[in-house]
Chain A
Amino acid sequence: MFLINCPYCGERDQSEFSAGGEAHIVRPKQPTELSDDQWAEYLFMRKNIKGVQFERWNHSHGCRKWFNMVRDTSNDKIHAIYKMGEKPPIK
C-alpha cells in the first residue's frame, strides 16, 4: 500500500487514489486525419514496463485532481510526482 504525495493535498494513503494508466499519451488533435493504424496506436497500445514507468493517478477520494507519477513497477518506488501539463522532472 503506497503512500502518495498528492501535489495538492500532501501525503495520503493509496486507498484514496485510483490509477489511470500510462501518462503522456496525448489525444490526437485531428483524429479524423489519422489512419486506422495510427488511431489504434493511440487507442489501444500501452506500455507495461518492468521498471520505471510514467503513470496517471487521480486523488479520487480526495481533491479529485489528476496528476502524474514516475514509479518503478518492480519495487513500487515512486521517483517523482508532478502536476498535469508539467514536464517530467526525470527522464
Chain B
Amino acid sequence: MHDQTDAADIMMGDVVRLEDVLSRDSVTSVCKSFFSLFGLPVRVITHEGDLLADVHRDQPLCNYLNTLDAGERECAKTVGVVRDLEPELQTIVHPCFTGAVYRIVPLEYQGRPIGRFIVGPYVPAETTQPPASLLSVDAAIDSAAACGHFETMPRVREHIAKEISDHLKGVLELLLFSGHRAQLASTMQVASVRENYRELAEKNEALESSLDELKQLDQLKSTFLATVSHELRSPLTSIIGYTEMLESGAAGALSDGQAEFLGTIRSKADQLLGLISSLLDLGRLEAKSLDLKHESVDAHALLSDLAATIVPTANRRNVALDVQVGEQTPKLWGDPVRLSQILLNLADNAVKFSDEGGTVTIRAERGDIDAAGASGLGAALFSASRPAVVLTIEDGGMGIAEQNLSKIFDAFYQVDAGTTRVHGGAGLGLSIVKQLVDGHEGKIEVTSTPGEGTTFVVTLPAADDDA
C-alpha cells in the first residue's frame, strides 16, 4: 500500500486513496445535507477502511440494546460485519437483528474500488412489526420498550432508499472526479515547472561550459597575440635600426635609388611596428594588465601636441584643422601618453576619412559625467555627476551607416573591407580607444550621418584639483 500518491500513479492518472482527492470537510458537509434531507445515517469509508465521514444520530433502540449484555454483543457484531463488508460492484443490503437494514454502496473510480458508503440503520417502510430476533436477543429485554423504540427508527421504502443512495453515489463520484481533476492539474503544474526547471538548468550548464571554453580560447588568443607581437617586434627593431644606420650613411654613401628604397623599407617597417604595438596594447588591455598612470593633464597642452602631430598628415590631404579649447575647460585626470593615444587615433581617423578640402574640428570643453546615467534607476544611491572634460572630434567625411555604428569598437572590425586597402589599418584603433576610455572611467559616443560626417564625443573625468 502507498503512503501517498506517487508520481507513477499520477502519470497513469490514477487515484490511490479516496482521501487524496476528497476533503473530509466537503464529504462531511454532503453527508450532513443528506442526513438533514432524508434523516438517514450515513458513513463514508475508504478502500483502506478509514472512516472519512460519519453523520448519524444515536437511535433510542440502539441505546437501549447497549444496556443489555447480549444486546450490546449482537450490536457490536452487526456493526463490525457491516463495517468490514466491501461490495465489489453491487450494493449490499445487510439486515440487522433489530429488523433494520444497512445499505452498503460501493464507490468505484476508473474501474477500481476506492471506497464505500453505508446508509443506515433504517427500517424498510414495508416492515411493520419488530422481528422475533429483536425480542429474543436478550433474556432481560423489555418487549414493550423495545417495540416502542422500534417505532422511532427512521423509515423509508426500499426503492426510495435505493434511489437516494444512487443519488448520493452520483454526488460523491462527481466530487471525486472534480477532486481528481484538481489534484492532477496541481500535480502536473508542479511537475511541469520542475521539468522546465530541469531543462533550463541543463541548458544553462551547457551554456556556462561553452562560455568557459570560449573564455579559455579568448585567453589563448590574447596570449598568442602578445607572444607573437613580442617575438615580431624584436627582429623588426633590428630591421629599423639597421635601415636607419644605412640611411645615415654609416655603411657608405647611398645612391638616390638606394635611399628611396631604404625610405620605403623604413616607412613600411614603421607601419608594421605601429600595428604590432597596437596588438600588444590590445592584448594588455584585454588582459587588464596595462597600467594606467593617473595625473592631472592640461587640455590645452594635450590638444596643442595633438595638433602639432597631426598637422603634417592634414596638410598632405589638404584638410583644415580647427582646434578649440573652451575657457572653463578643466584639467583631465589620466595617463598623458594614453590620452594622447586616444586623441591621436580619433583625429588621425577624422583626417583620414575627410574629403580633400574638408575640415576636422577638435574641441575640448567642460562637461559632466554621470555614474548612473541621466535618469538611471536608483540614481540617488550612486555618486552624483562629476566634472568632466568633453572632447569632440568632428569630421565632414563619408560617415558611417547606422547599422555599423555598434560594431566599430570591435577589434579587427572594418566598416568596409575596401577601407583597409585605401586607408590602411587593421581595425584595432577604435577598439583600443574604447578600452582606454573605459580604463579612464570615461565614455565614448559616436554619431554619424552618411555623406555628412562623423562625430566622436569622449567624456573623461576632470582632475579633482581643477574641478
Q: Do A and B form a real pair?
A: no
